[in-house]
Copies of this chain bind each other. A is one copy, B any other.
Amino acid sequence: MLEQSLAALSLATVNGDNAIPTKTLVFKPKTAKTATPIPVIVFALQSTSTPSGIIAKSVNVKEPRLAKDDLTMEFFNKSTKEFSIADLNKDSAGKIKFIIDSQILKSDDVLELSTESSKAALPAKTIVEFLKSIDIELVEVDFSAEPTPAPPAEKSKKDLLKEEKQAAKLEDAKLIGITVDKAKDFSSWYAQVVTKGEMLDYYDVSGCYILRPNSYAVWETIQDWFNIRIKKLGVKNSYFPMFVSSRVLEKEKDHIEGFAPEVAWVTKAGSSDLEEPIAIRPTSETVMYPYYSKWIRSHRDLPLKLNQWNSVVRWEFKHPQPFLRTREFLWQEGHTAHLTREGATTEVEQILDLYAGIYEELLAVPVVKGKKTENEKFAGGDYTTTCEGFIAATGRGIQGATSHHLGTNFSKMFDISVENPEGSDKPRVFAFQNSWGLSTRVIGVMVMIHSDNKGLVLPPRVAQNQVVVIPVGITAKTTPEEEKSINDGAADIESRLLAADVRAISDFRENYSPGWKFSDWELKGVPLRIEFGPKDLKSGQATVVRRDNGAKAVVALSELETKIPELLETMQKDLLENARKDFDNHRVVVEEWKDFVPTLNAKNVIVAPWCGDGDCEDDIKDSSAKKDNGEDEEVDEKAPSMGAKSLCIPFDQPTLKPDQKCIKCDKKAVNYCMFGRSY
Whether A270 lies near B260 (C-beta < 8 A) is yes
Q: Is there a chain B Cβ closer than 8 Å to A271's Cβ?
A: yes
The smallest C-beta distance from A237 to any residue of chain B, in angstroms, reads 5
Give the residues from 147 to 162 in chain A that come closer than 8 angstroms, CB to CB, to chain B. none
In the complex, what residues of B have CB within 8 A of residue A203's CB? 240-241
Q: Is there a chain B Cβ closer than 8 Å to A94's Cβ?
A: yes
Whether A212 lies near B241 (C-beta < 8 A) is no
Q: Which of B213, B220, B236, B272 contacts A306 (CB 8 A)?
A: B213
Whether A266 lies near B263 (C-beta < 8 A) is no
Q: How far, in angstroms, from A449 to B238 measured CA to CA in the complex?
A: 23
Q: Is there a chain B Cβ closer than 8 Å to A576's Cβ?
A: no
Whether B270 lies near A267 (C-beta < 8 A) is no
Q: Quick one: closest B residue to A310, CB to CB?
A: B311
Do A270 and B262 contact each other (CB < 8 Å), given the known contacts A203-B241, A240-B210?
yes
Q: Is there a chain B Cβ closer than 8 Å to A657's Cβ?
A: no
Do A268 and B267 contact each other (CB < 8 Å), given the known contacts A237-B216, A328-B243?
yes
Contact string against B for A residues 543-571, beta-carbon threshold 8 Å, 1 for contact and 0 otherwise:
00000000000000000000000000000
Q: Is there a chain B Cβ closer than 8 Å to A265's Cβ?
A: yes
How many A residues, CB 8 Å from partner?
A: 64
Stretch of A273-281, A364-372, A428-436 at the chain-chain interface: A273-281
Q: Is there a chain B Cβ closer than 8 Å to A201's Cβ?
A: yes
Q: How far, in angstroms, from A213 to B304 measured CA to CA in the complex?
A: 11
The smallest C-beta distance from A135 to any residue of chain B, in angstroms, reads 13
In the complex, what residues of B have CB within 8 A of residue A315's CB? 269-270
Q: How far, in angstroms, from A113 to B365 measured CA to CA in the complex?
A: 63
Q: Which of B201, B204, B280 contacts A266 (CB 8 A)?
A: B280
Q: Is there a chain B Cβ closer than 8 Å to A217's Cβ?
A: yes
Q: Is there a chain B Cβ closer than 8 Å to A410's Cβ?
A: no
In the complex, what residues of B have CB within 8 A of residue A240's CB? 203, 210-211
Do A265 and B263 contact each other (CB < 8 Å), given the known contacts A241-B210, A290-B204?
no
In the complex, what residues of B have CB within 8 A of residue A242's CB? 311, 313, 328
Whether B260 lies near A268 (C-beta < 8 A) is no
Contact string against B for A residues 218-244, beta-carbon threshold 8 Å, 1 for contact and 0 otherwise:
011000000000000000111111111
Give the residues from 262 to 310 in chain A that come closer than 8 angstroms, CB to CB, to chain B. 262-272, 275, 277-278, 280, 290-291, 294-295, 300, 306, 310
Task: Known A-B contacts: A210-B238, A263-B270. Give 4 more (CB < 8 A).
Answer: A95-B275, A208-B243, A239-B330, A265-B266
Q: List 8 A-B contacts (CB under 8 A).
A: A208-B241, A210-B238, A211-B238, A216-B238, A219-B239, A263-B269, A267-B267, A280-B280
